[in-house]
Amino acid sequence: MEEEYEDYFHDNTSDNYSYDDYHTVCEKADVRSFGGAFLPVVYSISLIVGVAGNAMVVAVYAYYKRLRTMTDAFVVHLAVADLLLLFTLPFWAVDAVQGWQVGVLLCKLVSALYTINFTCSMLLLACIGVDRYLSITPTGRDRGLGQLFRPKHCTKVCLLCWLAAFMLGVPDLVYSTVVSTVSGRMACLAVYSNEMAPVARASLEVTEVLLGFLLPLTVMLVCYSRVVCTIEALPLERRGRKWKVIRVLLAVGGVFVVTQLPYNVVKFCRAMDSAYALVTHCGVSKALDRAAQVTESLALTHCCLNPVLYAFVGSSFRQHVLKLAKAFEERRRRRNRRRTGSVQAEEQGVDIDLNSHAGSQETSTFSI
């Protein structure tokens, strides 16, 4: 979420350069204007849709569906990670319009939460792919890495995913701070020392690309391709169900590539530019910033699609969703009936009070 709205281009004749060597300022007011109009809309839609879908997943598993398999546990952790990630979007939406307004502490926490939960989501997707592959190979859990993917080790696997993601979030927690840009806006950025800035930032972003994209992508491609090969070997009478499973797997892999590949390509380019100062033209730098805004927003839509891809495609889960909806509707009706009954009782009480009050008035008048 780190956007640089003013870039400085240095003299390429010097290998060892500092801020004193920068002689050209690239003003990016148009990039700020684009982000201020585009990002809040996308973040708002992602927040509403993503919170609704992932909260439904958590609610169904909490009230109706038990965690019978490792995939069930991974889906619940995935929904929690997506929810925590989505809850950071309002801060970035306000930042895109007005700059960072809520202090250094929240800057550190929000930046770290964003990185941790984004990375954890990707690692959990890889775990789901491994578990789906092992579920169709009876002996797969008895050797090698498959021994780790047993139900008794489920908690350990989830903790490893969260721990790896947390390690990537530590630099954001330590180095993120609020700084004033050349345009006068306050920005929440990770600020490193001049000696380690290019190398540290580039290394961190490349590590995030490797761990948060290339590793899950490789695992998913290998596991799902083997699943497809195994399904293809099934008898012809099961062809209908077979193609349904294959279509789901292709949708899962296709959505992952479409939403994550552009963002990680741009992220890798920005990392290389940060380390080697490859971009020396202001127009190219602006285009790269806009591409980062658009592709990162596209990557966030995966949080909204995860409930559909990994939960709602199952008929049993859809049945539990219907049960939850019916229970909610029945609870609402009961609440309305109670409210209607209390209102009627109050009206009857008012009528009785009025009648008694009228009778007392007649008696009183007669006495007088």
Structure tokens at 184: 């006068």
In this predicted structure, the answer to whether residue 30 has a pLDDT above a threshold of 80 is yes
User: Residue 190 in 3-state DSSP?
Assistant: strand
User: CB 178: neighbour CB atoms within 10 A?
Assistant: 19
In this predicted structure, the answer to whether residue 194 has a pLDDT above a threshold of 50 is yes
Where does the chain show beta strands of DSSP type E?
6-10, 22-27, 176-180, 186-190
Measured at the CA of 227, the angle between CA 222 and CA 230, to 5 degrees, comes to 125
Q: Which of 130, 199, 208 is nearest to 167 (CA)?
A: 208
Rounded to 5 degrees, φ, ψ at 234 are -70, 160
For the ranges 79-88, 188-197, 264-273, 351-360, the maximum mean pLDDT occurs at: 79-88
**How far from chain centre, in Å, is Cα 183?**
30
C-alpha–C-alpha distance, residues 221 and 237, integer Å:
27
Q: In sequence order, what DSSP letters do the residues of 236-288 get, joined into one string?
A: GGGHHHHHHHHHHHHHHHHHHHHHHHHHHHHHHHHHHHHHH-----HHHHHHH
User: CB 323: neighbour CB atoms within 10 A?
Assistant: 14
Q: So what's the pLDDT on residue 215?
A: 93
Tell me the per-residue pLDDT of 49-64, one tens digit each, with 9 for 90 and over: 999 999 988 988 888 7
Q: Which of 211, 206, 215 is nearest to 267 (CA)?
A: 206
Bridge partners (DSSP) listed for residue 7: 26
Average of per-residue pLDDT across 304-329: 78
Q: So what's the pLDDT on residue 240?
A: 65
CA dihedral in degrees (335, 336, 341, 347; nearest 10)? Answer: 130
What letter would DSSP give residue 146? G
Average of per-residue pLDDT across 167-193: 88
C-alpha–C-alpha distance, residues 50 and 260, integer Å:
17
Q: So what's the pLDDT on residue 84?
A: 95
CB 43 within 8 A of CB 94: no
Q: So what's the pLDDT on residue 15?
A: 37
Q: So what's the pLDDT on residue 9?
A: 41
Q: So what's the pLDDT on residue 364?
A: 31
Lowest mean pLDDT among 81-95, 227-241, 283-297, 344-358: 344-358
In this predicted structure, the answer to whether residue 197 has a pLDDT above a threshold of 50 is yes
Tell me the per-residue pLDDT of 139-162, one tens digit each, with 9 for 90 and over: 667 676 677 888 888 899 999 999
C-alpha–C-alpha distance, residues 101 and 103, integer Å:
6
- pTM score over 0.85: no
In this predicted structure, the answer to whether residue 6 has a pLDDT above a threshold of 90 is no
Q: Which of 61, 230, 70 is nearest to 148 (CA)?
A: 70
C-alpha–C-alpha distance, residues 167 and 176, integer Å:
15
Helices (H) and strands (E) in the chain, counts: 10, 4
CB 38 within 8 A of CB 84: no
User: CB 114: neighbour CB atoms within 10 A?
Assistant: 21
C-alpha–C-alpha distance, residues 178 and 127, integer Å:
36
C-alpha–C-alpha distance, residues 344 and 167, integer Å:
60
